[in-house]
Structure 1
Amino acid sequence: MIPQPQFDPSHYEQQYLDLMRHIWSAGDERVDRTGVGTRAMFGATMRFDLSDNAIPLLTTKRVYWKTAAREMLWFLTGDTNIRELVKQKVHIWTDWPLDKYRRATGEDIDRDSFEQKIIEDPEFAEQWGDLGPVYGKQWVDWPVYEPAGNGLYHKAETGINQIALLVEGIRSNPGSRRHIFTGWNVAELDRMALPPCHKTYQFYVANGKLSALLQQRSCDLALGVPFNVFSAALLTRMVAQQCDLEPGELIWNGGDVHLYLNHEALVEEQLARTPSGAPTLHLLRKPESVFAYEIKDFEVRDYSPQAHIPAPVAV
């Protein structure tokens, strides 16, 4: 039986818990790429108010928001190697290159030892730490091909910076319906360690406020979505500040929204908890560009979540 705790239906987190409860109770049981198996539904929406510095951090378990913020800053650099992440003790992308290394070499190396080699040996990092052209590469350096003569083309040295174009577009033409960037580059999906889950972002300006809509194709509701929602809200706040706009709303659209079958303990524990509190996110300065933020520029206040709930990542 799924617990039914007392709850405040107006709390922003309740929609997340209701979605989790519905999927665990009535979702379709499906075989998935990882072999773990899921309960899932197709198509879901959540809306989060970002005004007055509100930030949609879960309170029924701790979300390590600094990890998510560091990942977002890393995306904006266009880097695709885990080395800079693991230097900052961010481990969320390590499982994919680690699994590739183990399969290729047969060495049963543990994560800490693998990450230490990534940090200490640049050549090892170059060979084994790269994820392929994932998120940030597509966001800030989407590949462009130029004519090379005789019907041939070559790759241009500089690709399209979708984020820079987004900011400029919002500043110069706020009413446009083309404030979009995406990581879903069909030609390069097979070179990515993981095709983008949070794949397309669209922005909307009205009444001096910037709102964002995130379309996420694959949604690990227990582990990934809490990070994705916070990260999208953070990026919206950054872009809004750069465009001299107030934050409006974040709309999250999920495609395949699922809970892994081995997350039963997490689901039942989290659904037994009651959300509370109203954390806020504060940007402590306005850098010269959206690419110049640092982790010290972000401060979350009034965040007192309940304890972290561990669960395995399906790779």
Structure 2
Amino acid sequence: MAKWDDIYCSLVEQILTEGRRVSNRTGVDTIKLPFAHFTLNVGEEFPILSVKQLFLRQAVLEMLWIYQAQSNDVRWLQERDVHIWDKWEIDENGEWKDEKTGKVLKKFDPSMAHTIGTAYGYVVRKYRLIDRLIDSLKNDPEDRRRVVSLWQDAELDTAVLPSCVWSSEWDVTDGKLNVLVHQRSCDTGLGLPFNVTQYAVLMSMIAQVCGLKVGRLDWSIKDAHIYVDQVEQMKELLRRWKETEPLPAPKLWLNPEITDFYAFDSSRDIKDVRLEGYSHRGKLAMPLTQ
């Protein structure tokens, strides 16, 4: 079985057995651990779950929306049939509303309609985070100040949702690119599998265009939680993990001709990215909490 399956399922089991039930701003309680950490060697094994199906196309496009298109416009995703951020889209009146009650949760300038405000890709573009990262990796590989922070205090009040995966630190050792990712709040059931695969693809792309090998991905989480309406699905996931035969990890293929991060295809079909040999145990649908 892929190492990522073991790490992920062990974390899920720990949350369910040791976690504490708490309330939060969404109105749906969670079971949480205050902190979690794990390490993956992406250069040896690409992390994507096999105990449930993960849709690589949607995961990669959301990542490219943030770091390549550097957009906060939800329509960019919708045009590519990705609807991850629909629940957080500001409407034409500049209002972000509760999807169930219609209550206005936050008010924005109407010019921010169809966006998620000053978050994620907006921050990447404004502060030239990817350009500066690539320049440093290419021209100053020993640099110890490569911090890509999506948490910018000046932008928080005008963001629909402050970044959950908010920071990454990038290191080069022995020609290998290593990344440390920080996540302030982690929807372990839905978000974490997406996020880990996204950053594994991102670091692989950045390594390729910078002439580096892919190394390790370290992940730290503050508030690793499972929503209570996801518990039964998580129990099914654990059953699959314990009672079915292990499946091998797939290989990530990136178009080897791409030498510019901005040249990776970001159309609906992400033609420069694919998985080879991906086997999984099928879908496991879960509610997404706004």
Asked whether 1:140 is paired with 2:131, we answer no
Aligned to 2:51: 60
Q: Shift in Å at residue 98 of structure 1?
A: 7.0
The structure number with the bigger radius of gyration is: 1
Aligned to 1:113: none
Aligned to 2:282: 307
Equivalent of residue 15 in structure 1, options 4, 7, 17: 7
Distance 1:137 1:97 in 2: 14
| AA partner of residue 25 (structure 2) | R
Residues 90 and 116, structure 2, Cα contact 8 Å, conserved in 1? no
Residues 220 and 260, structure 1, Cα contact 8 Å, conserved in 2? yes
Aligned to 1:221: 188
Residues 242 and 286, structure 1, Cα contact 8 Å, conserved in 2? no
Q: Shift in Å at residue 44 of structure 1?
A: 0.8
Structure 2 runs not aligned, ≥5 long: 104-109
Distance 1:215 1:314 in 2: 21
| AA partner of residue 17 (structure 2) | S
Distance 1:141 1:264 in 2: 39
Distance 1:258 1:56 in 2: 20
Distance 1:214 1:200 in 2: 6
Aligned to 2:114: 129
- SS of 2:89's equivalent in the other structure is helix
Output the TM-score relative to the length of structure 2.
0.88
Q: Shift in Å at residue 251 of structure 1?
A: 0.9
Distance 1:305 1:284 in 2: 24
Equivalent of residue 282 in structure 1, options 253, 278, 285: 253
Structure 1 runs not aligned, ≥5 long: 1-7, 109-124, 143-160
Report Cα offsets for 1:220-260 as digits up to 9, x if no partner. 00000001000111110011011100101111111111000
Pairing of 1:166-245 with structure 2 (within 5 A):
166-245=133-212
Distance 1:103 1:126 in 2: 20
Equivalent of residue 91 in structure 1, options 42, 63, 83: 83
Report Cα offsets for 1:44-87 as digits up to 9, x if no partner. 112111125x3100000011111010111111212111111111
- SS of 2:215's equivalent in the other structure is strand
Aligned to 1:111: none
Pairing of 1:85-124 with structure 2 (within 5 A):
85-97=77-89, 100=95
Q: Shift in Å at residue 268 of structure 1?
A: 0.8
Residue range with higher mean Cα deviation, 61-70 or 289-298: 289-298
Count of aligned pairs? 271
Report Cα offsets for 1:193-212 as digits up to 9, x if no partner. 11100100111111111111
Cα 1:107–1:219 change in 2 (3 A) is: closer
Report Cα offsets for 1:286-315 as digits up to 9, x if no partner. 434212211111011111111111111111
- SS of 2:157's equivalent in the other structure is helix
| AA partner of residue 258 (structure 2) | P
Aligned to 2:106: none
Distance 1:203 1:42 in 2: 25
- SS of 2:81's equivalent in the other structure is coil
Distance 1:51 1:277 in 2: 15
Q: Shift in Å at residue 12 of structure 1?
A: 2.9
Aligned to 1:145: none
| AA partner of residue 289 (structure 2) | A
| AA partner of residue 125 (structure 2) | V
Distance 1:126 1:304 in 2: 44
| AA partner of residue 138 (structure 1) | V
Distance 2:148 2:247 in 1: 34
Cα 1:127–1:194 change in 2 (3 A) is: closer
CA RMSD for the aligned pairs? 2.1
- SS of 1:191's equivalent in the other structure is coil
Cα 1:72–1:246 change in 2 (3 A) is: same
Residue range with higher mean Cα deviation, 276-285 or 286-295: 286-295
Distance 1:136 1:233 in 2: 18
Residues 101 and 128, structure 1, Cα contact 8 Å, conserved in 2? no
Residues 281 and 301, structure 1, Cα contact 8 Å, conserved in 2? yes
Distance 2:255 2:197 in 1: 17
Q: Shift in Å at residue 127 of structure 1?
A: 6.1
- SS of 1:196's equivalent in the other structure is coil
Output the TM-score relative to the length of structure 1.
0.81
Q: Shift in Å at residue 140 of structure 1?
A: 2.2
